[in-house]
Structure 1
Amino acid sequence: MRRISHGFASAIFEVVYLGLATNLMLVLACLPLLVLVIGTDPAEMWPYLVVAAALAAPGCSAAFTVFREQGRNGAGPLRTFLRGYAATWRKALAIGAATAALLVVLLGDVRALASSAVGVVVVPLLLVLSVLALAVAILSLVAIAEVPIARLRDVLRAAVLLGVRRWYLSLVSLLIGAVQLALFANLPAIAAGVTAAAALYLIWANGRYALRPVLPAAEPLTD
């Protein structure tokens, strides 16, 4: 029987460590959201969930930074996560807050108009806009992880344009996110401790491919 090479075993260990370390940092960065989702009734606490979801956005952009920097500068995932958080948190928080506020308005209108006569026409449009808002937010978080110095206006413009033009890639990212949320609803420990990094990695890779027409040649994140 052929023995497993040291290089292969080392690569497997690095991938596992990357995933577990990223999951740990994500749990810490998104702790308010996790506590509210697990320990409260979302239907009653939704205003706080909206705020907590916005606060969780920098954790996602920091995780995307970890994936971007993997193997480039010798820094471990914990340090890279913190550096990515510091580099992107302002823009990520703005993206998260704007998206959360927009979704509150759109979904609130969906609920209010669902039983009305105009709801047949307006509700599908509002739902499409809600999906588009989520897709733009995901692409924007990937973009600021790739180019932290990019202007937020340029990031949002590119995310809207490519999110619509490459809608099929946006749907893939949203589907991955939906599967992760469904897993979290049923098995929160597994979702937060095992699969979160894998799901975000797939979303990052997909979003990075969607943004490829506007991304410059990537450079490692420096101190």
Structure 2
Amino acid sequence: MRLLARLPYDTVFNTVYAALKINLCLVAACLPLLATLALSGSSPLQSWPFYTALSALCGPAAAAAFAAFRALSDGEHHVARTFWTTYRTAFSRSLAVAAAAAAAVIVLAADFQLALGSPFGAVTPLLALLIALVAATTTALLAAEAKPTWKTTLACAYLSIRYWYLSLANLAILGILAAAIVAKPAIGLFLLPAPALYAVWANTRHLTATLH
């Protein structure tokens, strides 16, 4: 009973409530992509270049969620306001980062498909690593709120390679989240995004600590 009395119920409730609000904000911000996935009759894998390009719209949403996590860790519980303020102010920057990453992934993935089963099949591991590096670098740029210059991009790429285990963990978390959204939309959209992205943000904050 004494242990139960010591549990910080207010803190737990506020954290869970904040996570739910962030999930709803993410759903609203990514609605164009989600609506297209729901209404399209084709498999995302069959039309992967189109969905990869459209996923650039999730860049501002991810940057806003990372800012909300930062505010929450500082004791600010008005996460929805922080989310939409950051979404508005960082929209152009984060969309440019995500769009450039989507374009790079489309080119690399197309080359990967062409190389499979061809005399150039030996380059497929390198192409796969480059795709992973683009995803890790993009995540670092969005989480660090860094201005997308060549210097910061190269720094984030270097740090993503140096702390490869954190980058690998982030990619695994994002992959599981994407699979959950496709397989179980209700759970994947309304329960998992905030915890998953928080873990990604926490890893990336350590990864990019030297940029601040």
TM-score by length of 2: 0.91
CA distance in 2, matches of 1:186, 1:115: 30
For residue 37 of structure 1, report the CA deviation from its aligned partner: 2.7
Distance 1:73 1:172, change over 3 A: closer
CA distance in 2, matches of 1:122, 1:143: 31
Query: What's the C-alpha RMSD, in Å, of the aligned pairs?
Result: 1.9
* Percent sequence identity over aligned pairs: 35
CA distance in 1, matches of 2:60, 2:111: 28
For residue 9 of structure 1, report the CA deviation from its aligned partner: 1.3
CA distance in 1, matches of 2:79, 2:7: 20
Distance 1:72 1:43, change over 3 A: closer
CA distance in 1, matches of 2:58, 2:88: 14
CA distance in 2, matches of 1:160, 1:194: 30
1:23 is matched with 23
> Of the candidates 50, 53, 61, which is equivalent to residue 52 of structure 2?
50
Tell me if the contact between 1:140 and 1:156 (Cα under 8 Å) persists in the aligned partners: yes
> Of the candidates 167, 170, 185, which is equivalent to residue 170 of structure 1?
167
1:99-149: CA deviations, max 9, x gaps?
110111111011112111121x111111111111111111111111xx5xx
Q: Which residue identity does 1:122 align to in structure 2?
A: V
Tell me if the contact between 1:19 and 1:197 (Cα under 8 Å) persists in the aligned partners: yes
CA distance in 2, matches of 1:174, 1:114: 23
1:218 is matched with none
Tell me if the contact between 1:106 and 1:130 (Cα under 8 Å) persists in the aligned partners: yes
1:1-223 to 2 correspondences below 5 Å? 1-2=1-2, 4-5=4-5, 8-40=8-40, 41=42, 42-70=44-72, 72=74, 74=76, 76-119=78-121, 121-144=122-145, 150=147, 152-215=149-212
Q: Which residue identity does 1:210 align to in structure 2?
A: L
Q: Which residue identity does 2:174 align to in structure 1?
A: G
* Structure 1 unaligned residues grouped into runs of 5+: 216-223
CA distance in 1, matches of 2:38, 2:6: 41
Tell me if the contact between 1:143 and 1:155 (Cα under 8 Å) persists in the aligned partners: no
CA distance in 2, matches of 1:152, 1:87: 18
Tell me if the contact between 1:136 and 1:159 (Cα under 8 Å) persists in the aligned partners: yes
TM-score by length of 1: 0.87
Distance 1:21 1:152, change over 3 A: farther
For residue 151 of structure 1, report the CA deviation from its aligned partner: 5.2
**Which shifted more, 98-107 or 179-188?**
179-188
CA distance in 1, matches of 2:115, 2:45: 19
Which segments of structure 1 move beyond 6 Å, counting only runs of 4 or more?
none
* Structure 2 unaligned residues grouped into runs of 5+: none
CA distance in 2, matches of 1:71, 1:125: 38
1:164-190: CA deviations, max 9, x gaps?
111111001101111111211211110
Distance 1:175 1:44, change over 3 A: closer
